Amino acid sequence: MRLINNIISERKGSVCAAVRHSNRLDSVSPDRQTDRLRVWSAVGLMASARVVSTCLFVALLTCTLRCSQCVKLSNIILILTDDQDVEMGGMTPMKKTKALIGDAGVTFSNAFTVTPLCCPSRSSILTGKYPHNHLVRNNSISGNCSSTTWQKEAEPFAFPVYLNKLRYQTFYGGKYLNQYGSKDAGGVGHVPPGWDQWHALVGNSKYYNYTLSANGKEEKHGDNYEKDYLTDLVLNRSLHFLEERSPSHPFFMMLCPPSPHSPWTAAPHYQQTFSDVKAPRNGSFNMPGKGKHWLLRQPANPMPNSSVEYLDNAYRRRWQTLLSVDDMVEQLINKLDSIKELSNTYIFYTSDHGYHTGQFSLPIDKRQLYEFDIRIPLLVRGPGIKPKLTLQSPVLNIDLSMTILDIAGVNLSTVNMDGQSFLPQMAPSLRNGTERPFFLVEYTGEGHSSEDPSCPKLGPGLAECFPDCVCEDAFNNTYACVRTLKDANLQYCEFADNESFVEVYNLTSDPHQLENIVKKVDPALLQIMNQRLIKLESCTGDSCRNLHEHSF
């Protein structure tokens, strides 16, 4: 701009000098005036031509500079798997994903879900809020999963709505919320606001024989691999979306394959892979739940051979289903490269929560407060992110929405969400930010009012029970935890049960959470953690972010 100003000053000086000379005409004779008029007319024409050419030059140069400063909004893709752990080796099959996203960008080594169950976690991702603020408690309609209340009070403020208002072209494919498409949730005709293309699974994860809502119309699928395998269908429709999109506007895609959720149906060409793989036997595998809350004290220990065989089979088949997701990532990135959009696209890869296979003698599931259920994979590549980064800053799934909106240029102070953008952590050249000192993990247990027929001795109030009388959930499996990594690697949890049970773990000395140290720790520390928990359980928006290490 300084160059432009100098040019303008020079041109103005030449024109003004000519005007000053012309003002002296009244002091000379008429004949000479006529001669000079001819001269100064010529000078005036030349000056005018110079002015016009200068203006054109300046306008062109200004436009060029402005255009070079107007950066096109980045495209964004969020790939969200279902039940993929990181602690039990869940990322091992993802060789292409780790190379194409992790090695090309950043891997977060401390990424967490704020609640270890599908529908509440996905609701947190969409809204950027803790469960106590979006009020989705479990996977049922009565637990607010995809309920009419959710549709009226939460969906209109989910992050895709903001993107759509910014003229992002939006695409959704795969599993949405567990009760989506059910009669009580408005059926397949309900398409949440913010989505231009909507291809959402009705109900919970399946690979074949499912129903989709295709832009609000029912679409039934069978068991033909080429036509119906859900992971591949999500990929193919996303590729079609990329072909048909307008290049004039950015796009956002959210791809949600069923893998590695049960029923663990692998693509035909992957069904014989990992034949010798078994669930890891280290850490808390097949250990008793001594010193833990009521539900964890019930399973038989050691587990019967039938349970071990079952969970090994589940572990192996989970990996098999993930190979198709790995292929999805590769084909998607190849497509972005071919349409010249890869360098301007952020790609997030994560899961809704973790998983366990035999930890503390629980065969298979999620829902527990321990690291294997609350830690999630998180890999991101995109503009401004240096390759092969590993960051230890704690990141939550409620941060995904704020980070995506930050990338899209939304003024985050106008957004009512509990999370915070982690764009400053992964691309510090673009933004400054702060690291949270501690955070909340919360869960509301589910149970049945009657006894489970296969396990009458445990009484009512349980759910997700196996034939050998091991139940994975119960009403009293309701808890809230404070997790800290900065200064001290601690977890403090309180249960809403008739024991007022508390669990505390030092994860530096006990990474597998084998010993509950609540009776050994300094009572002053317990009080501090309790006060933090009280604050977090009632936080909303800014108050969830503006928490300081020494404010209690």
* Residues recognised as catalytic: 118
Identify the residue whose tokens are 């098999």. 320
State the CB neighbour count (10 A cutoff) for residue 199. 22
Amino acid in the structure at residue 421 = S
- Provide DSSP, 354-385: --EESBTT--EE---SSHHHHB--EEEE-TTP
Whether 352 and 273 have beta carbons less than 8 Å apart is answered as no
Report which of 354, 361, 370 is spatially closest to residue 503, judged by C-alpha positions. Answer: 370
Report which of 310, 300, 295, 308 is spatially closest to residue 370, judged by C-alpha positions. Answer: 295
The three-point CA angle 88-89-91 to 5° equals: 130
Amino acid in the structure at residue 4 = I
19 Cβ contact partners less than 8 Å away, ≥ 6 residues apart: none
21 Cβ contact partners less than 8 Å away, ≥ 6 residues apart: 40, 43
How far, in Å, CA of 541 to CA of 534, rounded? 16
Report which of 346, 447, 412, 355 is spatially closest to residue 140, judged by C-alpha positions. Answer: 447
Bridge partners of residue 201, in order along the sequence = 175, 212
Whether 363 and 302 have beta carbons less than 8 Å apart is answered as no
